[in-house]
Every structure is written in C-alpha cells, then in structure tokens.
Homo-oligomer: A and B are copies of this chain.
Amino acid sequence: MSEDAFLLDLLARVPTDDPALVVPPGDDCAALALGADRLLLLAVDQLVGGRHYVLDGPGAASPGQAGRKLLARNLSDIAAMGGTPLYCLVAVALAPSQDEAWLSQFFDGVLGLAREFGVHMIGGDLARAPGDAVASLTIVGDVGGGDVCRRCGAHPGDLLYATGSFGGSLETGHHLSFVPRCREGRWLAESGAVTAMIDVSDGLLLDCARLCRMSGVTGRLDLDAVPSAVPGLARGRVLGDGEDYELLFTVAAERVSALRAWPFADVPLTRIGRIFPPSGVHVADMSGTPLDVAFGGYDHFKNSL
C-alpha cells in the first residue's frame, strides 16, 4: 500500500464533522477557524522504539499500546495547562522490521484514545527509518484565557499538591495504561486556585525543580507525604522513576479551600510540600536541606548523550 492509500484509509476512520475544521485532512494543510476568546495550545512529543517502550520481553508494549502512549503523553501536557485537547498531527518513521499491520495497530492505539478524549487527527506523515521506529505527535488544544496554568506562577507561601501516586511506572505498566489528567487539569484551572502547574513525566523531583525554577522559588517537599504507587518502593524511585503523568501544582494558601470541592473520588489529591522564597536551590526537603535532582528524574536526552 502506498502512503497516499494508507493515509486515505486511515483518514476515513477519523471524524471530520467539526464545523471549525474548514479544510479537513487530505489537503496540504488542515485549516481551523477558532474563536478569539480562547487560547490555542500546541505541544510536540515523540516516542522512540527501544527507549520509550520495548516490543519484546518483559514489559513489552503492543504497537497499539505504543500509539496510545504517544498521544497520552501529549494529552498530559495539555492537562498541565488546564486545557482541552482538540487536534493532533502524527509523524511516524518506521523501522525496517515493521510493516503496515504494525502501523495500523499503532494508529488504532492513537485513534482509540483520541476518540475517548474528543481529539481529531488533522495531519500525518509517514517515512522509513533505517533504525528503530520514531514517532512524534503535535497536540493542539485550547483553554480559556483566564484559566491557563503556567509553570511560572508559584509564589512563596503557596502549597504544593499532586494528583495520584508516584514511582514504579515501568513495572506496573502505568507508563502504557495511564489516563491523562485532562479532566482534573481543567477542573483545577477553572477553580481559580492554581498558581502554577506541570505534569510529572520525568520524575517528581525533576519536574518540581522545573516548576520552581520557572517560578523563581524554592519548593520544599514533605518526602513522607508523597504517595508511592508501589508499597515499599524506595524513596529515590518514588521521586525519580518518572513516567507518572500526574499533575503537580501550587495553590495560594487562601484559596486551598477551593480544593474541598474536588469531584474525582478515584483520583487522590495530596499536599506534598510548600513554596518558599528563592534560596539558590529549586527543591529541598521540609527542613530546607537541598535535594539533588540527579537523585532521581529521568532526562531522556541527558541520560543518553
């Protein structure tokens, strides 16, 4: 099957009944007409075979699980802004060993999750890679202008909260099956209580440091309060395993009561620290002792450079 034929076949499975989608998939570009009172959100993330998932042995992912994960990672980025995902564009460079069936199952994974979250695929590109498969996805979403949650809004005195639990994502399969926190992120954004937010993809400690660096503050973590996803897991792994895809956010102390209305009984919300004035370090324990980010935190780039 040619690229054209494959894409036509694929696009026939994608809904195009969105009135804002003035030029639907199949043209050089898709064209969107969006209202001016919303902000458009865009992000890109990629998934590399043998790195973000394996296809053989223990913990192996099916092609569909790999496709699902690619979109889920991007949805988590939209969630972290308090946004609603709308569209995605997907580029896949296939490994020599991968055939059309693999690619079809991969897109089954993308499109299955896309349907659940109301996301339309509006563009794609396919190629062959000499090495392992590499896929990338650009997500497009929107958010009310007054609701958008950035990394840079945390202030001294704010309290630090997280959804869900942390660590062990590879062993438990969480990295393949997690449900992106879009619903929760939107609720938090609309609550007006959140001052800064980030999704935890590379480890709680590293992503907390990112939020604090962007905000110009120090975060102090109550290490005993951080929920572990696996009983008995070493603290370093809870803080550093990554691929948790939970939301980490800060709330002004006087707005904390807004969180009492948290409607998601199945998703724990835990206070795990507090924001302090800048101190030269980004993360510390509650006594102020600096925590070494290298202690945990997976940097997909650094760890392999």
Contact = CB atoms under 8 A, between A and B. Distances in A.
Contacts of A100: 305
A4 B145 CA distance: 27
A256 interface: no
Nearest to A31: B39
Contacts of A89: 42-44, 138
Contacts of A41: 29-31
A28 B199 contact: yes
Nearest to A93: B134
Report how many copies the assembly holds.
2
Interface stretch (A19-27, A228-236, A271-279): A19-27
Contacts of A51: 127-130
A35 interface: yes
A302 interface: yes
Nearest to A140: B42
Nearest to A41: B29
Nearest to A143: B31
B305 A148 contact: no
A184 interface: no
Interface stretch (A118-126, A157-165, A257-265): A118-126
Contact of A4 (B42, B128, B131, B299): B299
B22 A32 contact: no
A36 interface: yes
Contacts of A12: none
Contacts of A299: 2-4
9 contacts: A2-B302, A23-B39, A29-B78, A29-B139, A31-B143, A44-B90, A44-B136, A48-B128, A49-B130
